[in-house]
DNA sequence: ATACTATATGAACGATCGGTCGTTTAGTTT
DNA sequence: AAACTAAACGACCGATCGTTCATATAGTAT
């Protein structure tokens, strides 16, 4: 049943397609991405997509889910190995910056691209992207709240406010580093979050000097 | 010479087209924007563009310049009325947030959209956008440096670092407020910059409480 | 009135878009 | 071997893309 060669082949195809779709979409966006270019990049035929997805929108939705999975595996999971509190919060930020500097995606950040692409057009893709970003921000907020609870951060810190700041300082790092073709923005981003956290953290030993 | 009715009419047409192009591009991007939709939005014919621009790329370049002009008129110039120093720096941030909440552009921010759209594709448009953002960041940096020089901000403040932070906290405000359909991000953005500046500013009277 | 120029149009072009359809290939079941 | 199924293909569709071109209109110059 599970070792049906046809189903296995299909799943591999879908995954290969989704991986390439996320890569290309990080550059051109989910709508800017055309099925023809996606097909030629994979060496397959254009009509083959419709054996797996009803239309382009379904593929876009699955691509968002695939990008969420990639983000979880490469950023969230590793950072969760850091000890609870402010160190875990900073680990999330550093893992994100490493994701950018490692050039995992040719366009830098899938979510920044599709977020600005779809934030003004109604539809299922927009809702899916919106939910993904809500989930990510909720995670940042929760980890920040944990840092307050365990005493790493001063008790008057607003976790939602702090989550917004970390997200903003992180997202623009990839945008500037690519637009200006220089890694300067990554340095600013890291230092900004670090200084901010150190200012809110009574124990200076929990965070690196710089 | 200057009162040639034909040239006047042509200039008005170009300005009307550029204004609409910037508006539409703030939603769909400069490339996502199609000449057909731009023409129908203006009630003119599609082929009329080529009386004013050689091709679409020339129109895109002029649209960037037009957006810079709008940004200068609506954000930079008003903020320069604030007194030199930290108050002028915060005035720039508040003018930007007002630009967003006033819904001047249907897509929120032209520059965020085209920046993420073109940061990975080489070409003249990319270079023009890149230069526009460099200029804007240079202005933020200069105003921040002035604030340090005149003693508003502590002498150890790095103006380039601070400019990056203000830009990041400002850009994501429009992205989040639109993606989540709630103005919360604007509040976070304002408070983040305000708290950051107050922490660096010896004289608390220069900035509002919150 | 005539010649000239800037602005705008409608019809058409080749290219590409997302999508359909009938067929073939690969693998499973009986 | 025959029947069946999932996956992939090539050919083709109507729509839309940016662009060209011949032409018409509007305003200036002689």
Chain segment A74-121, per-residue pLDDT in tens = 999 999 999 999 999 999 999 999 999 999 999 999 999 999 999 999
Residue A72 forms part of a structural domain:
yes
Q: What's the confidence (pLDDT) of residue A46?
A: 96
Q: What's the confidence (pLDDT) of residue A5?
A: 78
Residue A174 forms part of a structural domain:
yes
Q: Write the CATH number for B121.
A: 1.10.357.10
Residue B9 forms part of a structural domain:
no
Contacts B189 to A, Cβ<8 Å: 164, 168
Q: What's the confidence (pLDDT) of residue B2?
A: 58
Q: Which domain holds residue B101?
A: 55-206
Distance A95 CA to D8 C1' (A): 39
Mean pLDDT for chain B? 97
DSSP notation for B136-162:
HHHHHHHHHHHHHHTTSS-TT--HHHH
Tally of helices (H runs) and strands (E runs) in chain B: 9, 0
Q: Report DSSP state, residue A83.
A: P
Mutate to test the interface with B, among A161, A176, A193 (most CBs of B within 10 A): A176
Mutate to test the interface with B, among A122, A164, A174, A183 (most CBs of B within 10 A): A164
Find out whether B35 and B49 touch, Cβ atoms under 8 Å. Answer: yes
Strand ranges in chain B using DSSP code E only, listed in sequence order: none
B59 touches chain A (CB under 8 A): no
Residue B46's nearest nucleotide, by CA–C1', is C9
A185 touches chain B (CB under 8 A): yes
Find out whether A131 and A111 touch, Cβ atoms under 8 Å. Answer: no
Q: What's the confidence (pLDDT) of residue B16?
A: 98
> Quick one: residue A116, left, alpha or beta (phi over 0 = left, psi -120 to 50 = alpha)?
alpha
Q: Report B:137-176 residues touching A (Cβ under 8 A).
A: 160-161, 164-165, 167-169, 171-173, 175-176
**Which of A172, A179, A180 has its CB closest to that of B172?**
A172
pLDDT tier for residue B104 given thresholds of 50, 70 and 90: very high
Number of domains in chain A: 1
Residue B188 forms part of a structural domain:
yes
How distant, in Å, are the alpha carbons of A126, A185, B174, B209 from that of A115?
8, 20, 11, 33
Residue B60 forms part of a structural domain:
yes
Find out whether A166 and A174 touch, Cβ atoms under 8 Å. Answer: no
Residue A20 forms part of a structural domain:
no
* CA pair distance B52, A55, nearest whole angstrom: 38
DSSP notation for B103-141:
T-STTS-HHHHHHHHHTTS-SHHHHHHHHHHHHHHHHHH
Q: Calculate the CA B1 to chain-centre distance.
A: 34
- At A52-71, the pLDDT tens digits run 999 999 999 999 999 999 99
Residue A21 forms part of a structural domain:
no
Distance A14 CA to C30 C1' (A): 30
Instruction: Measure CA of the first residue to CA of the last residue in chain A; give whole Å.
Output: 55
Counting Cβ atoms within 10 Å, is residue A44 exposed (0-12), middle (13-18) or buried (19+)?
A: middle
A198 touches chain B (CB under 8 A): no
* CA pair distance A205, A80, nearest whole angstrom: 19
Q: What's the confidence (pLDDT) of residue B210?
A: 83
Residue B4 forms part of a structural domain:
no
* CA pair distance B95, B87, nearest whole angstrom: 12
Residues lining strand C at under 7 Å (Cβ) are A 1, 3-6, 9, 33-37, 46-47, 50, 54-57; B 6-7, 9-11, 13, 44-48, 50-52
How distant, in Å, are the alpha carbons of A99, B10, B52 from that of B7?
53, 5, 11
Strand ranges in A20-126 using DSSP code E only, listed in sequence order: none
């Amino acid at each position: 049943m599970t070792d049906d060669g046809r189903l296995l082949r299909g799943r591999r195809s879908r995954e290969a397609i989704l991986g390439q779709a996320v890569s290309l979409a990080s550059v051109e966006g989910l709508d800017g991405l055309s099925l023809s270019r996606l097909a030629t990049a994979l060496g397959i035929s254009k009509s083959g997509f419709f054996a797996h997805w009803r239309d382009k929108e379904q593929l876009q939705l699955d691509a968002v889910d695939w990008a969420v999975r990639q983000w979880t595996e490469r950023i969230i999971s590793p950072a969760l190995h850091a000890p609870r509190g402010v160190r875990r919060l900073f680990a999330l930020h550093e893992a994100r910056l490493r994701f950018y500097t490692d050039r995992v995606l040719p366009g830098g950040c899938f979510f920044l691209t599709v977020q600005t692409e779809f934030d003004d057009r109604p539809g299922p893709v927009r809702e899916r992207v919106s939910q993904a970003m809500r989930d990510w921000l909720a995670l940042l907020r929760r980890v920040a709240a944990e840092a307050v609870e365990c005493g790493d951060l001063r008790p008057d810190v607003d976790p939602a406010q702090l989550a917004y700041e970390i997200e903003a300082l992180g997202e623009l790092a990839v945008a500037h580093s690519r637009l200006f073709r220089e890694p300067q923005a990554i340095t600013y981003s890291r230092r900004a979050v670090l200084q901010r956290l150190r200012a809110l953290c009574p124990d200076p030993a929990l965070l690196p000097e710089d």
